[in-house]
Amino acid sequence: MSTTNLDSAAPSAIPAPTTNIRVGNTPMALHRPIPRRLLGVWAHPDDEAYLSAGLMARVVAAGGRVTVLTATRGEKGTDDPDRFDADTFGAEREDELRASLAVLGVTDVRLLGRRDGECDLGGDAPMVDVIAAAMDELDPDTIVTFGPDGMTNHADHRAVCRWTTEAWTRRWHGDPATIVGGPASAGDLLYATVTNEFAARNRELHDRLGIFGDFGDGQPRSVTRDRVALGCALSEHELDRKRAALAEHASQTTGLAEVMGEQVYRTWYREETFRRPTATELARAAAPATTADPTAVTPPAKPAAPMLELAA
């Protein structure tokens, strides 16, 4: 699909690019090699596990480096706020985040200090600065984050997409229409997405549990397979790791796993898929704030009940 920006002096521990993987019975091209320096930018503890646990584990196994930035401590991610003081609960979720990443071999996790459900408060600029500074420090070859749909349409998730995309656009200075995929110096910006097959396979499940209820039709925004720039179809062994990482987010995942049933829950996000931004999305991110998409500015999100939120 486009060039990647891996150094020519890749260490021998890095496997050669995979050219084909299988998703169920479907051969699926993997359009780029395993990242060597992966940066994930997410909103709440557990976002990273659902959407990129398998990818992170692969990067670590290949000798690469992973850093996770998490905007909030997810302190409102409880359906029993009377029982949990927000600060105490936030500390618990931070512990869960670190324990979950430890399962995957990831130790570099940084909290960005926004409040759960309030990522739109305080302005975008400070967060863009922090994320841009992290990109300058870490020089990631791959950056994964939410797309403009926020996966679940959660306002915090959409804010993280906005910040990260704007930070990334600072690293290039060309015409957005011509650089989809990004120049080598900026790293490859990838948005977490799901395929049409995922949406169809889980349609009844999503309807029943209301996981994507923040969308009018209750369904995730999905793409055709040819839009997937990086896909990880997890093996059983990798699924074991991902499930163990999710289990560390016990305050968020135990109840949902019970409602779904263990086997369904375990294989729900068995395929982690990412797409590149479109030229329109990049142009919007690069536009002055006065001409930005008005829908990009949203009121604070009400914290979703953890049972029904993919990743709060």
The closest of 142, 117, 112 to 127, measured between CA atoms, is: 112
With CB under 5 A as the contact rule, which of the stretches 38-46, 52-60, 208-216, 240-248 interacts with Zn ion?
Answer: 38-46
Q: By rule CB under 5 A, what count of residues binds Zn ion?
A: 5
For residue 278, the minimal CB distance to Zn ion (Å) is 23
Q: Cβ closer to Zn ion: 44 or 58? A: 44
CA distance 228 to 276: 8
Q: Which residue is nearest to Zn ion (CB)?
A: 311
- Whole-angstrom CA distances from 193 to 72, 91, 115, 289 are 21, 29, 25, 26
Task: Collapse the DSSP code of 39 into the 3-class scheme (helix H, G, I; strand E, B; otherwise coil) and give the result.
Answer: strand
**What element of type H or E holds 94?**
helix 86-103
Task: Tell me if 167 contacts Zn ion by CB under 5 A.
Answer: no
Scanning 15-23, 39-47, 161-169, 214-222 for contacts with Zn ion by CB under 5 A, the matching segment is: 39-47
Nearest alpha-carbon partner for 145 in 9, 300, 281: 281
Cα distance between residue 265 and residue 211, in whole Å: 13
Beta strands per DSSP E along the chain:
21-23, 26-28, 37-42, 65-72, 108-114, 142-146, 188-195, 222-223, 228-233, 271-275
Alpha-carbon span 152 to 312, nearest angstrom = 10
Residue 44: closest CA among 156, 166, 174? 156
| Least distance in angstroms from the C-beta of 21 to Zn ion | 27
Q: Is 311 in the site for Zn ion (CB under 5 A)?
A: yes
Q: Which is nearer to Zn ion, 161 or 282 (CB)?
A: 161
How far is C-alpha 289 from the geometric centre of its chain's CA atoms?
Answer: 24
How many CA atoms are closer than 13 Å to the CA of 46, on its beta-carbon side? 27
CB of 72 to Zn ion, least distance (A): 8
Smallest gap from Cβ 36 to Zn ion, in A, equals 27
Beta-sheet strands, E only, within 103-239: 108-114, 142-146, 188-195, 222-223, 228-233
Residues numbered 47-76 forming contacts with Zn ion, rule: CB under 5 A: 47
User: Whole-number minimum distance, CB 292 to Zn ion, in Å?
Assistant: 23
Scanning 46-54, 64-72, 167-175, 196-204 for contacts with Zn ion by CB under 5 A, the matching segment is 46-54
Cβ-based nearer residue to Zn ion, 166 or 214:
214
- Of the candidates 31, 36, 44, 76, which one interacts with Zn ion according to CB under 5 A? 44
Kindly tell me which of 44 and 270 has the beta carbon lying closer to Zn ion.
44
Is 124 a binder of Zn ion (CB under 5 A)? Answer: no
Whose Cβ is closer to Zn ion: residue 43's or residue 155's? 43
Query: Would you say 106 or 286 has its CB closer to Zn ion?
Result: 106
Identify the residue among 23, 43, 186, 228 touching Zn ion (CB under 5 A).
43
Q: Closest separation between CB of residue 18 and Zn ion, Å?
A: 29
Q: Please state the closest distance from residue 44 (CB atom) to Zn ion, in A.
A: 4
Selected binder of Zn ion within 56, 234, 245, 312 (CB under 5 A)? 312
The span from the CA of 299 to the CA of 158, in Å, is 12
Q: What is the DSSP secondary structure assignment for residue 243, as one 8-state letter?
A: H
> Which positions touch Zn ion (CB under 5 A)?
43-44, 47, 311-312
